[in-house]
Chains A and B, each alone.
Chain A
Amino acid sequence: MTISSILDWIQGSALSVAIREGGLPYPVIGGLHLLSIAWFGGMLLLVDLRLLGLAMTTRPVSDIWAMAQPWKRVGFVVVVVTGFLLTWAEPIRLYESPSFWIKMTLFALVGVHALIFHSSVYAQPEKLDEGITPKAKLAATLSLILWFGLILSGRLIAFDDSFDR
């Protein structure tokens, strides 16, 4: 089973055809993908900005965390599910897109970021109420860079054709 045959199978699957050629589904799923950035990307920013001491500094980190965390989780699920559906709709084009692979690399790095920082920073927000550790600031900075990179590389996918290759 070659990669090309897998891509062909996905591209020809009923779900892929329905999203790609159904008219409304593609922009609606794309819109939800974008909306989840608007609804929940802000919460991620808020937590990271708090860790960097730039927003809501008069409030304890654990309070901000308790407020934003459930919404961040919902947002993550929505953005990943809609992103998966958009990918499923156009596997061949995306497989050939350098921007898409940059985006997937950054997405994998988000996983690495969670492995490194989740238990030591995000899982114990009460500890950060006493003082924000340099490690927490590093985690917040990297998180902001990763997520902006994800937005940028995602946006660049639509512009692939305008670049000389």
Chain B
Amino acid sequence: MLTEFLRWLVNSPWSHAMNAAEWVFPTVQSFHFAGFAISIGTIAIVDFRILGWGRSRFTPAELARDLMWWTSAGIAIMLITGFLMFSTDAVGYHNNPAFEFKMVCLTLAILFHYTLHRQAVGAATPGVVAKLAAVASLVLWTTVVASGRMIAFI
């Protein structure tokens, strides 16, 4: 069932479009990078603020509210371009341990971001729990990027 779906993805029109010319895949991948630069960069700046690093007149909650749209837009770009790249070799990626690990971390990171992390950010004065959430967020997103890089080496 899963394998059939993965094969269907590989033969999908968008998968063919990704392979239509050599420049398409690296271009989509560059948008993937830009997408996670926007999302993870805006998440990191809030996390750094919770941890009290760097000077800023903003509270974490203000920052997060102002950046919310950009964080979500970045995540959306990242997911769409990631799905397109996955489609070109769905079976191969599925069998890649680095990719599997990345997907687990990504799911956790996204769930965490929109639930516990959001609560931690809202705290008026960041306490230990909020700081732990900021560290967890930085570690999760860092692991997502690092394991993404490992896909090519496994």
Q: Which of A's residues lie within 8 Å of B, judged by CB?
A: 26-27, 30-31, 34-35, 37-46, 49, 55-56, 58-59, 63, 66-68, 70-71, 148, 151-152, 155-156, 158-159, 162-163
Q: How far is the CA of A155 from the CA of B24 in the complex (A)?
A: 11
Interface centre among A37, A42, A46, A162 (most CB of B within 10 A): A42
Cβ-defined contact, A46 with B41, below 8 A: yes
Q: Check: B119 CB closer than 8 A to any chain A CB.
A: no
Q: How far is the CA of A35 from the CA of B70 in the complex (A)?
A: 18
Cβ-defined contact, B38 with A30, below 8 A: no
Q: Check: B37 CB closer than 8 A to any chain A CB.
A: yes
Cβ-defined contact, A151 with B67, below 8 A: no
- What are the residues of chain A within 8 A of B58 when measuring CB–CB? 59, 63, 67
- What are the residues of chain A within 8 A of B23 when measuring CB–CB? 156, 159, 163
Tell me the smallest distance from the CB of A27 to a CB of chain B, in Å: 5
Contact with B56, one of A46, A67, A163 (Cβ below 8 angstroms) = A67
- What are the residues of chain B within 8 A of A39 when measuring CB–CB? 40-41, 44
Cβ-defined contact, A55 with B30, below 8 A: no
Question: Which residue on B lies nearest to A162, using beta carbons?
Answer: B22
Given contacts A34-B145, A55-B70, contact A71 B33 (CB under 8 A): no
User: Which secondary structure dominates where chain A touches chain B?
Assistant: helix
Question: Which residue on A lies nearest to B43, using beta carbons?
Answer: A42
- What are the residues of chain B within 8 A of A45 when measuring CB–CB? 34, 37-38, 41
Tell me the smallest distance from the CB of A161 to a CB of chain B, in Å: 10
Given contacts A40-B41, A71-B48, A151-B33, contact A63 B57 (CB under 8 A): yes
Q: Check: B96 CB closer than 8 A to any chain A CB.
A: no
* Contacts between the two chains (Cβ within 8 Å), count: 110
Cβ-defined contact, A37 with B45, below 8 A: no
Cβ-defined contact, A151 with B36, below 8 A: no
Question: Which residue on A lies nearest to B71, using beta carbons?
Answer: A42
Chosen A-B contacts, 24 in total, with CB atoms closer than 8 Å, are: A31-B146, A34-B149, A37-B33, A37-B36, A38-B142, A39-B41, A42-B39, A42-B42, A46-B45, A49-B70, A55-B67, A59-B66, A66-B56, A67-B55, A70-B54, A71-B48, A148-B30, A148-B34, A151-B33, A152-B26, A152-B30, A155-B26, A158-B26, A163-B22
Tell me the smallest distance from the CB of B1 to a CB of chain A, in Å: 33
Q: Check: B107 CB closer than 8 A to any chain A CB.
A: no
Cβ-defined contact, B149 with A67, below 8 A: no
Contact with A159, one of B26, B42, B141 (Cβ below 8 angstroms) = B26
Tell me the smallest distance from the CB of A37 to a CB of chain B, in Å: 5
Q: Check: B11 CB closer than 8 A to any chain A CB.
A: no
Contact with A along B86-123 (1 / 0, CB 8 A): 00000000000000000000000000000000000000
Cβ-defined contact, A27 with B150, below 8 A: yes
Tell me the smallest distance from the CB of B32 to a CB of chain A, in Å: 9
- What are the residues of chain A within 8 A of B146 when measuring CB–CB? 31, 34-35
- What are the residues of chain A within 8 A of B25 when measuring CB–CB? 159
Cβ-defined contact, B45 with A68, below 8 A: yes
